[in-house]
A and B are shown apart, each in its own frame.
Chain A
């Protein structure tokens, strides 16, 4: 009946994809009722059906902003606090592990990076770029790609969080199992710790959504 309204709510639903299914349905049902009441009020003022829907949607706000703000308000509060703390710790550890090679005292850690890069990305032309700049650049790129989005909760999609969890868990397993030298243990353990914490943190964030959905489902 209100195809314009359905399209609008569908756009909001797309933005709410980070929320568990039941919570998403609840949010959409509540917003639909609000919009239906607004449409009814405009109808009573004498507007046509089409105009009433248009005005109600305009008054409700941009679908993308409505959805994003709702997800942000839902996810950045207590639900994600634990996961976020773990990711923050991982981020700090990674910063430390990046800063350490800069100190000549920990020169061995640089070689640790080299080995980790070789293990993880053997096909990369690392031999032609040996040197601090290359490894630091690689580390910074890694930091921004993996840790920063988790830390700031830029990854709101549950699928993206699961992929990120899997990638960081795989990285931790690879570094832990394929490492053959014990000579550079500071860098080694820092890498494992940062990847593992990221994996746990992102898993907590992902599972917390499921937990809150279950809590609702089993509530009497």
Chain B
């Protein structure tokens, strides 16, 4: 399966990627890619507008941090508001998935030709 990520998918995926650990932009992109089993493709430059929007909404916070090796990097953390937003988006997704499952049905619902 291969699918291009749409703009609407990204905020939830970024929040989910940051839910467990703080990360910088490159690590967030790799996390999304790896967790999707490389099924989702995105232009990684589109990550930064999403990060700015989430920062402006107070869902994540970004700080420049000096690394043990290499130059300082901007590391993002999910905030309390971000965690509740992620929980809300998960509920919405579960509802949506349940409705789609009911609409599309399984093999048992298929009518014989």
Interface residue ranges, A against B (CB under 8 Å): 26-27, 30-31, 33-34, 37-38, 59-62, 65-66, 69-70, 72-74, 77-78
Answer yes or no: B38 CB below 8 A from chain A CBs: no
Decide if B44 touches A60 in the complex (CB within 8 Å). yes
Q: How would you classify the secondary structure of chain B's contact residues: helix, strand, loop or mixed? A: helix
Contact residues in B for A34 (Cβ distance below 8 Å): 24-26, 29, 44
Query: How many A-B residue pairs lie within 8 Å, measured between CB atoms?
Result: 64
| Cα distance, A26 to B57, chains bound together (Å) | 19
Q: Given A30-B25, A38-B26, A59-B43, do A70 and B53 touch, yes or no (CB 8 Å)?
A: no
Decide if B49 touches A61 in the complex (CB within 8 Å). no
Decide if B49 touches A69 in the complex (CB within 8 Å). yes
Q: Given A60-B43, A77-B56, do A70 and B48 touch, yes or no (CB 8 Å)?
A: yes
Partner of A73, one of B25, B52, B71: B52
Contact residues in A for B25 (Cβ distance below 8 Å): 30-31, 33-34
Q: Could you name 26 residue pairs across A and B whose Cβ atoms are closer than 8 Å?
A: A26-B74, A30-B48, A30-B73, A30-B74, A33-B71, A34-B29, A38-B26, A38-B44, A59-B43, A59-B44, A60-B43, A60-B45, A61-B45, A65-B45, A65-B46, A66-B43, A66-B45, A70-B48, A73-B48, A73-B49, A73-B50, A73-B53, A74-B49, A77-B52, A77-B56, A77-B57
Size bracket of the B interface = 10 to 19
| Cα distance, A34 to B49, chains bound together (Å) | 14
Partner of A74, one of B29, B52, B71: B52
Partner of B49, one of A26, A38, A72, A78: A72
| Cα distance, A78 to B52, chains bound together (Å) | 11
| Cα distance, A66 to B44, chains bound together (Å) | 9
B60 to chain A, nearest CB (A): 13
Decide if B45 touches A37 in the complex (CB within 8 Å). no
Decide if A61 touches B46 in the complex (CB within 8 Å). yes
